[in-house]
Amino acid sequence: MEEVIDLDDVLKALSEDDSDDDDDDSEEVQAENAKLKSALGEHRQVVKYLKSKLNEVNLLNAKLLFTNKLFKSHNLNNDQKIKVVETFDRAKSLREVKLVFSTLAESFGYAGSINSKKAVYESASKAVSSTKPKRKVISEGQDMADRFKKLAGLIK
């Protein structure tokens, strides 16, 4: 009644079961891989969108900064202020904003403009007093040291 078991048949059956499981695993891995790739694509789109928004905000901040510099340094009437704002609105990059600021600053005579040489000549022509440090003896330290010595009983 003993059954003869052929070892080769058992190994063959086991390997068939393993290959069936590999196909299932492979399909699962492929499905998960596809899912992760689609999620990665969505994340890249979000990063691109946020990057463009960040660049836009950076450009607007630069326009605001340079507009405020011009407004604070000059007494402009409303028409001039509107023209300054319109000129900055046309700029599409940070480089253009700086160029517009330089141009407008020169036309208004702003000494703090990027290409201004006037401020350098003015400061070079002024007389400067001596840079020699003034000697002043600080006696507070010695007075306090003597007081502590007296309190400690080292001197009378």
Q: Does the pTM of the predicted model rise above 0.75?
A: no
Q: What is the pLDDT of residue 137?
A: 58
Q: Of 22-26, 120-124, 131-135, which gets the smallest average pLDDT?
A: 120-124
Please list the helix, strand and coil fractions of the chain in percent, rounded to the nearest 5, in that order.
75, 0, 25
Model confidence pLDDT, tens digit, residues 77-126: 899 899 999 999 999 999 999 999 999 988 887 555 454 444 445 555 56
Give the residue-averaged pLDDT of 55-80: 91
Percentage of the chain beyond pLDDT 70 is: 72
Residue type, 1: M
pLDDT band at 145 (very low <50, low <70, confident <90, very high): confident
- Is the separation of the CB atoms in 88 and 64 below 8 Å? no
Q: How far apart are CA 41 and CA 52, in angstroms?
A: 17
